[in-house]
Structures are given as structure tokens and as C-alpha cells.
Amino acid sequence: MSLLKIDDLSVEVEGKNVLEGLNLDMQKGETHVLLGPNASGKSTLLSALLGFPKYNIKKGKIIYKDKDITNINIEERAKRGIAAVYQNPPAINITLKDLLDKISKRNVKIEGIESLMQRNVNIGFSGGERKFSEVIQVISMNPDLIILDELDAGLDVENLERLSLLVKEQLNDKTILLITHRGKALNYFRPDYAHVMIDGKITCSSRNWEKIWKLIEECGYEKCKTCKLSSSR
Ligand SMILES: Nc1ncnc2c1ncn2[C@@H]1O[C@H](COP(=O)(O)OP(=O)(O)OP(=O)(O)O)[C@@H](O)[C@H]1O
């Protein structure tokens, strides 16, 4: 059963067409990874999926849990179980503990972040602390679709492993879209599908994420424009 189906989606932001006729189908419980060069539109897809009003949907549909949510607002999408770990989350004037008390649908305990709980969210947090704070928020909301935008950015090797395993363990039956530039995260998540986005379109999708990653590492994204690896489901 599809949890998320994106059909021919075109999105414009600040007068710029960023996504052009994008299609994506994620079955319930699958993990997909979205790869692609800088500025290809990966975070824009996240913003459009979450429903940020600045991201203007020009064409196409977003179907989630068999309902058309294309024109549904950001709060309603969150209520229906869509959540994200952001690349650059904003600072908020509330302690992490109080925020979790407000949003939590389930109790999550992570060892070693007790002092972080007493601090205002993202105010003076290090890159790694920001990620822990984001991940604990997302897990505690118990969403059904989670988008992880560069979970690995700013994390050292041990903390990338720790956070990846935590996400895998706590959200193991959930549907995950991981956006990344690094192979290390792929090894932890071992996605069901890898997709490559170039210029606002998914140009390659395959179950063989190891092969896609190897080609990208060896030849860069230029190769993705011409290679014939992409296969249907
Ligand atoms: N709010 C915005 N205002 C203006 N331009 C935007 C906005 N959001 C995205 N863009 C533009 O859309 C294009 C795609 O950006 P996006 O952040 O989606 O790329 P990305 O693939 O996530 O890149 P990266 O890998 O570098 O994070 C870029 O040219 C970016 O400047």
C-alpha cells in the first residue's frame, strides 16, 4: 500500500521553478534515500511535502494515506503524521523539555542529553546537539512519514551511528525519506530505494542503492543524466 504518492509535481518558490514534474511512490514502511547535487531541489521537496506556504504548487498532486493533501495546510499535515528533521531548524524560545511536553505522543529517553533538555531549543546548540534535539522531537511525535534532511550533516562518526541506529530502532515500522550527500548514512539505513534528483526531477530510481552510490562516488552526478540503471518497481 502506498503511504505517499507524488504525481507530476511542479513547485515554484520566490518566482523560481524548482521542481518540475516529479513523481515518487513510497510504500508503507519503506525507507527511500534521495540523492542529488546541491540546489537540485531536495529540500524544496521536503518543504512542499510539509506544506510550507511559500512553496507554491503549480501542478500535480500529493497523495498521502490515500487522501489528496496538496492543498492542506502545514498544521493539518503534521496532525496527519508527516514530520521532518530539518537541515537548519530555527531557534525557539522554549526549553526542549517543555517543547517535548507539548508535542509528545510517546515517551522517548535518550541517555546523555539531560542538560540539553533544560536549554532553549537551538539557542547556542552545537551542530550535533541540534540533530539530537530534532530527532528526539520527531520520534516523540510518533509520525508515520519522516523526512530526514541531511541527518548526517554536522555529526561526528560516532554520533551519526548513534542517531541513525536510534532512528532505525524507534521508527522501524515507519516510512522514511532520507536526504543525504554521504554514503555512511546509507550503510546505516540500507534503503529499499535510492533516487537521484537532478534539476528538480527524479532522473533515476533503483533498489540497488549500493550501485547508485558507487557510480556517484566514481563519476559524480553527471553520469546520472545518462546511465541506464534506473528500473521500475
Ligand atoms: N525559500 C527560497 N527562496 C529562494 N530560493 C529558494 C528557496 N528555497 C529554495 N530555493 C532555491 O531552489 C533551489 C533548490 O534549493 P534546495 O534547497 O531545494 O536544493 P537542495 O537540493 O536541497 O540543495 P543542497 O543539497 O545544497 O541542500 C536553489 O536554487 C535554491 O536557492
- Cα–Cα distance between 26 and 45 in angstroms, integer? 14
Determine, yes or no, domain membership for 193.
Answer: yes
CATH code of the domain covering residue 7:
3.40.50.300
- Cα–Cα distance between 26 and 134 in angstroms, integer? 23
Determine, yes or no, domain membership for 122.
Answer: no
Which pLDDT score is estimated for 9? 97
Determine which residue's CA is closest to atom 26 belonging to ligand 1: 38
Q: Is the ipTM of this complex over 0.95?
A: yes
Write out pLDDT tens, residues 17-62: 999 999 999 999 999 999 999 999 999 999 999 999 999 999 999 9
Determine, yes or no, domain membership for 233.
Answer: no
Determine, yes or no, domain membership for 200.
Answer: yes
Determine which residue's CA is closest to atom 1 belonging to ligand 1: 13
Write out pLDDT tens, residues 132-167: 999 999 999 999 999 999 999 889 999 999 999 999
Distances (CA, A) of 104 to 65, 96, 108, 140: 22, 11, 9, 5
Mutate to test the pocket of ligand 1, among 13, 34, 85 (most ligand atoms within 8 A of CB): 13
Determine, yes or no, domain membership for 47.
Answer: yes
Sequence-distant contacts of 125-131: CB under 8 A, at least 24 apart = 126/154, 127/153, 127/154, 127/155, 128/154, 128/155, 128/156, 128/159, 130/89, 130/154, 131/85, 131/155, 131/159, 131/163
Counted domains in the chain? 1
Determine, yes or no, domain membership for 138.
Answer: no
Ligand 1 is surrounded, with C-beta below 6 A, by: 13-14, 16, 18, 36, 38-44, 54
Which pLDDT score is estimated for 121? 94
Domain region containing 211: 2-93+143-158+174-225
3-state secondary structure at position 55: coil
Band (233; pLDDT cuts 50, 70, 90):
very low
